[in-house]
Structures are given as structure tokens and as C-alpha cells.
Amino acid sequence: MPGLPQSDSLPERVYDLLHAHWGPQDWWPAESTIEMIIGAVLTQNTAWRNVEKAIEGLRAADLLDGSALLSAPEPSVKQVIRPAGFHNVKYRRLMAVMRHLADRSFDWTWWQEASLAEVRASLLKVHGLGPETADCILLYAFSRPAFVVDAYTRRLFGRLGCAWSSDPYEDVAAYLARDLPVDTTLYGQYHALIVTHCKAVCKKVPICQGCVLNLLCTRPVERNLPPRST
DNA sequence: ACCCAGGGTCATA
DNA sequence: TATGACCATGGG
């Protein structure tokens, strides 16, 4: 209906409500690019407070540094990251990422200047970096407009009637970003707001009383992703 | 004694 | 290709 005001899409409405309620989020909590990347690996399926302990341990040991991490003794690194869990797996993943970054001498020029698709593909080649971790790094370490989809995102939109539980990551991201401006700051805020919101009120057990999205929650409708064009 | 957390990989059917 | 097990620790 041309001429009539277009109603906002669901992702836009959710963003507006979350931003109005929780305010601007200060993300990613890291003092350097390498610290952000290390944190992105350590926080895989792990509560952030446990990651903080590991990161502070690394900081105290002067290990928030790619070269230092690569040359540090394996047992000592594992000991320090132990609070973040999965230390054997995460040690291997950290080393794999650091070696990958060492290929470009821990210089960020290429990461900042190559196309988003190229950088994403490069990150995904690293064993232990999946789509979510790669997009977090793209978004928060390299300020690229990569839309992050995590379990909270699926849960939150699931509450709003979106039947996405098993749709591919890229499909969900493409749908959510479709009606949003391509904007790094916006994407960064969006992901942070979803995490903040879900940690507070959108737990696995539904708590929709008093939730800021209650207006949207009241009448869940099946919202399936459109069929993939390819 | 459960369940959960800012995922990803691998083996199996 | 689609589930399930596994990885490990700390807090509720």
C-alpha cells in the first residue's frame, strides 16, 4: 500500500523496546582487540563471570598478548583459563586463533580493510571458530556489520512466535538484519541488548510477566523464515 | 542433586 | 542432513 505509513518489522520493534528499556550497552568489555578475541573463544557456552576470572588471570600473567600466549607453557595457560571451563578444548582453540593471527604478524590492517566476506571466511577456517564466534569478532573486534545470532536470540524471537529453532544460522541472521540499516553500532547494540535482556528476564523457564516485550509476547504468531532463494 | 551458561566439533544413523 | 555426546567449571 504505497502512501500509507509502513509498520515496523518485528526486529525493529524488538530493538526499539529493548533499547528504550535497557539503554545503550557498553560492549564488548575488553581493553584491546586481542583481549576481545580471546574472550570470544573463552565465552563459548560459558557464563561471562567465569570468563572474567580467566581473563583477569591472563592479564595478571601478561598473557593478553598473541606472541606471549603462543610461547607460554601449555600447563600454565590451561591453569589460568581453567575457571572458564573446557580448558583442554579452549587451549587448542586459542592457540589455533593466535597462530592464525600470527600469520599476519598480529597486525590488524588486513582484518580491517579486506571485505567482510573475506574476513569472515578467514575466521571460519580456524578450527574452533564457528559462525557466532566469528561474527562476534567481526563485529566487536573489527567493527564490521556482522549480525550475531546466539541461543538467546533464537529463544527471544521464539517467544515472539518465530519458529526458528532449527533454521540455519545464516538464514536467521539474514532475516533479522533484513529491515535494519547495515550499521555496526546498531548490530553491536542489538546483540548486547538481547544478552542483557535474556540474562535478566528471558530465561529458559518463561517469565513474561513484567517483561518489556510483553506487548509483543501477548499474541504469539507463527513466523516462519521465508524459503531460501538458493 | 539438579540445571544453566554470551558454541563448536565429532561420531553415528 | 540431522540429532546427540562431549568438552569442564562455577553459580543458582
pLDDT tens for residues A84-130? 999 999 999 999 999 999 999 999 999 999 999 999 999 999 999 99
CATH architecture of structural domain A33-141:
Orthogonal Bundle (1.10)
- The region that residue A210 occupies, defined by phi over 0 for left and psi between -120 and 50 for alpha, beta otherwise, is left
Record the cell numbers describing residue A223, joined without a space. 513466523
Strand C footprint nucleotides (protein C-beta < 7 Å): 2-3, 7-11
Alpha-carbon distances of A192 from A13, A28, A138, A169, A188, rounded to whole Å: 16, 8, 14, 18, 6
Q: Protein contacts on strand B: list nucleotides below 7 Å from a Cβ.
A: 3-10
Global pTM value: 0.94
What are the tens digits of pLDDT across the range A176-226? 999 999 999 999 999 999 999 999 887 666 666 667 777 566 555 667 787
Q: What is the mean pLDDT of residues A24-44?
A: 98
CA–C1' span, A207 to C2, in Å?
Answer: 31
Q: Which residues put CB within 7 Å of chain C, the nucleic strand?
A: A 45-47, 49-50, 53, 82-83, 85-90, 166
| A89 nearest nucleotide via C1' and CA | C7
- Residue A5 has a pLDDT of 64
What integer pLDDT is reported at residue A230 of this predicted model?
45
A217 or A80: which leads in pLDDT: A80
Measured from the Cβ of residue A104, the count of other Cβ atoms closer than 10 Å reads: 12
Q: Which residue, among A104, A32, A96, has the nearest Cα to A69 in the 3D structure?
A: A96
Q: What is the mean pLDDT of chain A?
A: 92
Identify, with chain letter, the residue nearest to nucleotide B7 (CA–C1'): A44
